[in-house]
Structure 1
Amino acid sequence: MSASHHPTDFGVFMAPFHKIGVSPTVLFERDLAIIEMADRLGFQEAWLGEHHSGGHEPIGSPELMLAAVARTTRTIKLGTAVNSLPYHNPFLLAERLVTLDHLTHGRAMMGFGPGQLVSDAHMLGIDPATQRDRMLEAADVIMRLLRGETVTETTDWYDLHDAKLQLRPYTVPELDVVVAAVTSPSGPVTAGRLGIGMINLSASSPAAFEALRKHWGIAEKEAAGHGRSVDRKKWRLSAITHIAETEEQARRDCTYGFEEIWNYLAHISPLPASDKPDVEGMIDDAIASGAILIGTPDTAIELIRKLADQTGGFGSFVMTLTDFTTFDRQKRAVELFAEYVIPEFRGQLRPLREHNAWVRDNEWKTQTMAAITAASEKYHQRTATSH
């Protein structure tokens, strides 16, 4: 991490949270278009989620989506945020992610978690009480496989005999892997034990923000106890984000889909419900709670600095995008973030400002005018002599 402890990498994350009533084909194309635009504008990462019910989050296989967009992007890293490990045989999932890593020439990332939607687990016949234990079992196996080990292991939900990947990851020394975290210590404990990164979702919400104060310390302690190390550069923080040219414009933008999406989020996550009768009041409550970022580029810069101070430093801030807004306004938010927020933290604006001040604060124009006058006088003298 740099001495300033601010992030220098930035990403977009789409669970995605889409309005119901729009063609899923169109929505998939828009998700890919956002990633393509983020790649062109200088974002470092893009993440897609995995969900199987609920209607608002229609991507069941983020690996397929990321493989598609890999062919139309150049440098942006492409990650699953997250694969729900209890839903998959760990050997097969590891194989898919290694294949994606080769297809992207080392741009694949894997995020994993226990699975958020109980309705997903119900359809798969999984007891929700077993999901976190199963996640830990599968994560350990996946990391051993990615690191080249041969695994023989029998559990009550998978059976592996001399399992070894045919392909090592394209990325050297290993695939970039993160575990999801919100408020509980289970995320940082897992990150430390396995020596991997972490992605904190809903990081600006009050409970999650308070938990950030201790999360990295937990990860470091667990890593030390298991002979591993963790790197703050691989710690990502994400918050639901929409920015516009003015705060008033941002709020107006969000009247498009805020009520529908927020009511859904209140059913599946710790985000607070609102008792306000109108969407404007709901937006006000959500902003006041700190659960989301709706404002301007300056608002985003302020939040990222607060997150950096709260954590002591992290590597990447990831915009969680939703259909609070129309597709066009969502694209404009990504553009504004690239125009004003990313360069602020990557140090790209300071030298331009310094050069501008240097030029404006010195009498360069006087010297320029003197040189022009001298050249004119020289010309007149020469032409007078020739006559």
Structure 2
Amino acid sequence: MIKLSVLDLVTVRETGTVGEALADTAALAQVAEAAGYNRFWVAEHHAMDGVAGGATSVVLAHVGAATRTIRIGAGGIMLPNHNPFVIAEQFGTLDALYPGRIDLGLGRAPGADMRIAQALRKDLARVSEYFPQDVVELRALFTGEPELPIRATPGWGAQVEMWILGSSLFGAQLAAALGLPYAFASHFAPDYLDQALELYRKQFRPSAALEQPHVMAAMTVIAADTDEEAQLLGTSMDQSFVALRTGNPGRLKPPVPGYRQTLPPSQLAMLEHMRQASAVGSPVTVARELAKFVERTQADEIIVSGATYDPAARRRSLELTMKALV
């Protein structure tokens, strides 16, 4: 059976609080661990009222304290927003707290607009150009190869598993060149999925970290007892995607029966396009769609995303998804 992992955005509900979102994330990680998921990742986003994972390493410390065995990590840290030395210290600290469990997925897109760039004191257009160099420097801060003039403490010697994230061909090329595992964000940007995975596998160079190419692909997955129930639960995410793409992001809204029938053709087409990498339905439907996606991608792992307004529905979705594949 293919390995399954979880991607969480620490979603804030319309009637909820950040504190509740953080508690829900810890509870979700506990369910994922009990169900047998391989990893639990949190993504970095900034200044979004409905997403509370901006201080990603702090959230991961919270998740680590609530769990015992599941790997936890960033999916990902947007490195242009940060200094590699500080990230080495943060994730070195996490490795010291939860040894053998820490993943560090690195993305090149800043995930921020110019207001955030100003708040971070970053020229994001310029620092993105240095992403490959920063990844190499960060790896050296963990491994000591090549040796740098200064050591990060904590950080040096930490057994952090580094990944490259991507939604285009750039990340695939970098992951291949550095011999690192590669995760593709097909749950929201499916266009280059097949090309990127082919390029990564073709150009992969073995490294001390990884002998063979290793791919994880992302899917939106919402499982419920029936197709109709799952599709209704999925309308909360549909509303969030439409709000984001129309410049009006906000907190996660309750499900709306018949929501898609209310949309203009352009917005409906956008949702259908993103649902290329999705499995929304009963356990039978989810198992079928996951199998088709694995056959298409030949992925080594699948990471499932997908928020629901009721946190209990997401926890049950994870349980149903895993049981469907056993």
Range into which the TM-score falls when normalised by the shorter chain: 0.7 to 0.9
Change (3 A) 1:33 1:228: closer
Q: Distance in 2 between matches of 1:254 and 1:307?
A: 19
Shift of residue 225, structure 1, vs aligned partner: 9.9
Residue pairs, 1:234-245, within 5 angstroms: 234-245=214-225
Identify unmatched segments of 5+ residues in structure 2: 248-256
Pairing 1:250–2:246 present: no
Change (3 A) 1:223 1:285: closer
Pairing 1:223–2:223 present: no
The one-letter code matched in structure 2 to 1:163 is I
Q: Distance in 2 between matches of 1:37 and 1:12?
A: 11
Residue 180 (structure 1) aligns with: 165
For the pair shown, the structure with the greater C-alpha radius of gyration is 1
Q: Distance in 2 between matches of 1:261 and 1:43?
A: 26
Residue pairs, 1:164-313, within 5 angstroms: 164-166=151-153, 167-171=155-159, 175-182=160-167, 184-203=168-187, 206-207=190-191, 211-224=192-205, 231-232=212-213, 234-255=214-235, 257-258=236-237, 260-267=239-246, 279-281=259-261, 288-289=272-273, 290-291=275-276, 292-311=278-297, 313=298
Residue 120 (structure 1) aligns with: 116
Q: 1:89 aligns with which of 83, 94, 105?
A: 83
Q: 1:334 aligns with which of 303, 318, 325?
A: 318
Residue pairs, 1:117-156, within 5 angstroms: 117-118=112-113, 119-149=115-145
RMSD of equivalent CA atoms: 2.8
**TM-score, normalized by length of structure 2?**
0.84
Deviates more, 1:291-300 or 1:244-253: 291-300
Q: Distance in 1 between matches of 2:18 and 2:321?
A: 26
Q: 2:95 aligns with which of 72, 96, 101?
A: 101
The one-letter code matched in structure 1 to 2:243 is Y
Q: Secondary structure at the match of 2:117?
A: helix
Identify unmatched segments of 5+ residues in structure 1: 1-6, 153-161, 269-276, 344-387
Q: Distance in 1 between matches of 2:189 and 2:288?
A: 15
Change (3 A) 1:267 1:85: farther
The one-letter code matched in structure 1 to 2:180 is I
Q: Deviations over 1:44-65 (max 9, x none)?
A: 1100011221212122222112
Q: Secondary structure at the match of 2:53?
A: coil
Change (3 A) 1:320 1:92: same
Residue 150 (structure 2) aligns with: 163
Q: Deviations over 1:159-213 (max 9, x none)?
A: xxx1223454453xxx21111111x211111101221111111347651xxx332
**TM-score, normalized by length of structure 1?**
0.71
Change (3 A) 1:189 1:26: same
Shift of residue 284, structure 1, vs aligned partner: 7.1
Residue pairs, 1:23-38, within 5 angstroms: 23-38=17-32
Q: Secondary structure at the match of 1:16?
A: coil
How many residues are matched? 308
Q: 1:287–1:294: 8 Å Cα contact kept in structure 2?
A: no
Q: 2:179–2:210: 8 Å Cα contact kept in structure 1?
A: yes
Q: 2:144–2:157: 8 Å Cα contact kept in structure 1?
A: no
Q: Distance in 1 between matches of 2:102 and 2:124?
A: 29
The one-letter code matched in structure 1 to 2:91 is L
Q: 2:237–2:306: 8 Å Cα contact kept in structure 1?
A: no
Shift of residue 219, structure 1, vs aligned partner: 2.2
Shift of residue 129, structure 1, vs aligned partner: 2.4
Q: Secondary structure at the match of 2:66?
A: coil
Q: 1:179–1:190: 8 Å Cα contact kept in structure 2?
A: yes
Q: 1:32–1:69: 8 Å Cα contact kept in structure 2?
A: yes
Shift of residue 333, structure 1, vs aligned partner: 0.6
The one-letter code matched in structure 2 to 1:177 is M
Q: 2:10–2:51: 8 Å Cα contact kept in structure 1?
A: yes
Change (3 A) 1:263 1:122: farther
Q: Distance in 1 between matches of 2:234 and 2:186?
A: 18
